[in-house]
């Protein structure tokens, strides 16, 4: 609360009612760009959600769950069969990684809730949380809502690598956790095993937790073994909270089903916070999640191939009109330098012009940085779209 208190009329002004925490960050720019895209009937390459259907197996299982009257609260930390299915799928995908579904999984409302529940459960006011930037825009507010201070470490174009010395300097006696998002939004970087080894050594040395966001686990263009889950890196087994969701892998961002995987003591704390935040994730959609986890390995190979095709339609179109970027190794975003296309280097005005004048929505680069000036010359485009949507976007972009 502001110290101003009630005015002469004896009433508290609306802004005085807003908490310091909520005043510290602004509304999501990504979701805001989606609204603007709707207003201008623009092709929405801003927010990362698919415009194509989810696998039929998921729809059938969701319908069957509703027909079976799976209508009431599931166990607060997740339906037992869904947790078992998640643990089985992890064991199939990463042999040797064994999870106890009874004690090490908490099912949440998407990875968004998983991240805030984890921070609220494991981070104290006064702590520091290391976040690589550019970043997915939730991590800063999540840290702030937990009373912690985000400490940013730069990923630098063109390959979005980090400087080991800069990372080492970011660790302090107050560092409680580091957030690792791999494959990474917005850069498309996939953290290599060597990079994860560097992070692991520092986390062990400083006794720091790793909170990973692996929502793009299966969306990368590196082939087998391309994605390394940090929890499988020596030293990190007992200090990692792995966050994932149905949202991206199965094209169901509106279902709101995610989960955390963590050692039992950490999971206990996350489950408690999660219970008071949301009670539980949608029960019939957890039932459908069992069907998702049962999809064969070929589903993931096909999905990655289709995303590669989408990437290979959008990237040449962006390059043709003058955007400068490295094609992403993972996730479904391209973070571009606008260069000569935006001589003023004013990303917000440029993105608005693009929506209103050209009919394509992207996300201004500044929204991915703590210091907006770092992203002024950047814009992010998302490509989880039908090929024809991407061709339509390419056609419109040519008018640039
Ligand atoms: N994490 C990252 C890195 C994302 O890019 C997104 C969505 O774009 C989310 C989390 C949100 O995930 P969910 O829909 O499961 O809450």
Share of the chain above pLDDT 70, in %: 96
Distance 31 CA to ligand 1 centre (A): 12
Q: Is the CB of 182 under 6 A from ligand 1?
A: no
Q: Are 205 and 235 in contact (CB under 8 A)?
A: no
Q: Is the CB of 258 under 6 A from ligand 1?
A: yes
Backbone phi, psi, residue 281, to 5°: -85, 160
What is the position in ligand 1's atom list of the atom closest to the CA of 216? 3
Buried b (16+ CB within 10 A) or exposed e, 59-73: eebbeebeeeebeee
Does the N-terminal peptide bond of residue 106 adopt cis geometry, omega within 30 degrees of 0? no
Least confident of 30-39, 227-236, 373-382: 30-39
Give, to the nearest 10 degrees, the angle between helix 110-122 and helix 264-278: 120
pLDDT tens-place string over residues 122-177: 999 999 999 999 999 899 999 999 999 999 999 999 999 999 999 999 999 999 99
Query: How many Cα atoms within 13 Å fall on the side-chain side of residue 181?
Result: 26
Distance 165 CA to ligand 1 centre (A): 29
pLDDT tens-place string over residues 2-32: 444 455 666 667 677 888 888 887 777 887 8
pLDDT tens-place string over residues 176-201: 999 999 999 999 999 999 999 999 99
**Residue bearing the CA closest to ligand 1, atom 12:** 111
Q: Is the CB of 338 under 6 A from ligand 1?
A: no
- Residue given tokens 């001589």 in the structure block: 343
Query: Which carries the bigger pLDDT value, residue 8 or residue 360?
Result: 360
Looking at the predicted structure, is the pLDDT value of residue 236 above 50? Answer: yes
Q: Are strands 105-108 and 258-261 parallel, antiparallel or unpaired?
A: antiparallel
Q: What is the mean pLDDT of the chain?
A: 94
Q: How far apart are the first and last CA of the chain?
A: 46
Q: Cα separation of 98 and 100, whole Å?
A: 7
Pick the CATH number of 56-293 from 3.30.70.270, 2.40.10.10, 3.40.640.10, 3.30.1490.20: 3.40.640.10
Q: Is the CB of 181 under 6 A from ligand 1?
A: yes
Q: Is the CB of 242 under 6 A from ligand 1?
A: no
DSSP letters spanning 356-399: IIISEE-EEGGGG-SSGGGGTTEEEEE--S-HHHHHHHHHHHTT
| Residue 223: per-residue pLDDT | 86
What is the position in ligand 1's atom list of the atom closest to the CA of 114? 16
| Residue 29: per-residue pLDDT | 81
What is the position in ligand 1's atom list of the atom closest to the CA of 109? 16
Distance 9 CA to ligand 1 centre (A): 44
Q: Is the CB of 366 under 6 A from ligand 1?
A: no
**Residue bearing the CA closest to ligand 1, atom 5:** 185
Q: Is the CB of 364 under 6 A from ligand 1?
A: no
Q: Are 187 and 160 in contact (CB under 8 A)?
A: yes
The tokens of 117 are what?
A: 């529940």
Enumerate the domain spans of the chain: 20-54+298-397, 56-293
| Residue 10: per-residue pLDDT | 65
Distance 342 CA to ligand 1 centre (A): 29
Q: Is the CB of 48 under 6 A from ligand 1?
A: yes
Q: Cα separation of 337 and 377, whole Å?
A: 6
Q: Is the CB of 185 under 6 A from ligand 1?
A: yes
Nearest to 184 by CA among 109, 131, 147: 131
Distance 343 CA to ligand 1 centre (A): 32
Q: What is the CATH number of domain 20-54+298-397?
A: 3.90.1150.10
Distance 253 CA to ligand 1 centre (A): 8
Distance 152 CA to ligand 1 centre (A): 19
| Residue 4: per-residue pLDDT | 43
Looking at the predicted structure, is the pLDDT value of residue 261 above 50? Answer: yes
Distance 248 CA to ligand 1 centre (A): 8
Distance 340 CA to ligand 1 centre (A): 31
Q: Cα separation of 343 and 42, whole Å?
A: 23
Q: Cα separation of 395 and 317, whole Å?
A: 8
Share of the chain above pLDDT 90, in %: 89
From 136, 250, 380, the mutation candidate for ligand 1 (largest count of ligand atoms within 8 A of CB) is 136
Distance 111 CA to ligand 1 centre (A): 6
């Amino acid at each position: 609360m502001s110290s101003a208190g009630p005015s002469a009329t004896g009433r508290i002004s609306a802004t005085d009612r807003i908490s310091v925490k909520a005043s510290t960050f602004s509304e999501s720019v990504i979701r805001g760009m989606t609204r603007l895209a709707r207003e201008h009937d623009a092709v929405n390459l801003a927010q990362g959600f698919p415009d194509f259907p989810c696998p039929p197996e998921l729809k059938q299982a969701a319908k069957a769950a509703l027909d079976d009257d799976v209508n009431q609260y599931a166990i607060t930390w997740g339906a037992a069969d869904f947790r078992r299915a998640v643990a089985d799928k992890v064991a199939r995908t990463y042999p040797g990684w064994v999870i106890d579904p009874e004690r090490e999984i908490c099912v949440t409302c998407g990875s968004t809730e998983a991240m805030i529940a984890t921070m609220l459960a494991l981070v104290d006011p006064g702590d520091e949380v290391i976040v690589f930037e550019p970043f997915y825009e939730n991590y800063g507010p999540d840290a702030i809502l937990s009373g912690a201070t985000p400490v940013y470490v730069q990923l630098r174009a063109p390959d979005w690598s980090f400087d080991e010395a800069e990372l080492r300097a970011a660790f302090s006696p107050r560092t409680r956790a580091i957030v690792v998002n791999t494959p990474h939004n917005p850069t498309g970087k996939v953290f290599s095993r060597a990079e994860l080894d560097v992070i692991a050594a520092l986390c062990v040395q400083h006794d720091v937790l790793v909170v990973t966001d692996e929502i793009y686990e299966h969306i990368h263009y590196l082939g087998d073994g391309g994605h390394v889950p940090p929890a499988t890196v020596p030293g990190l087994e007992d200090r990692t909270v792995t966050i994932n969701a149905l949202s991206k892998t199965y094209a169901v961002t509106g279902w709101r089903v995610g989960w955390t995987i963590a050692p039992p003591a950490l999971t206990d704390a996350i489950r408690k916070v999660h219970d008071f935040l949301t009670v539980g994730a949608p029960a019939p959609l957890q039932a459908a999640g069992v069907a998702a986890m049962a999809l064969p390995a070929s589903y993931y190979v096909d999905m990655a191939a289709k995303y590669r095709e989408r990437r290979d339609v959008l990237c040449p179109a962006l390059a043709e009109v003058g955007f400068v970027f490295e094609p992403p190794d993972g996730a479904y975003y391209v973070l571009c330098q606008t260069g000569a296309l935006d001589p003023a280097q004013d990303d917000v005005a440029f993105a608005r012009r693009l929506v209103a004048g050209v009919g394509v929505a992207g996300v201004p680069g500044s929204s991915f940085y703590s210091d907006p000036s770092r992203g002024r010359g950047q814009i992010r485009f998302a490509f989880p779209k039908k090929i024809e949507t991407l061709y339509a976007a390419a056609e419109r972009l040519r008018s640039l």
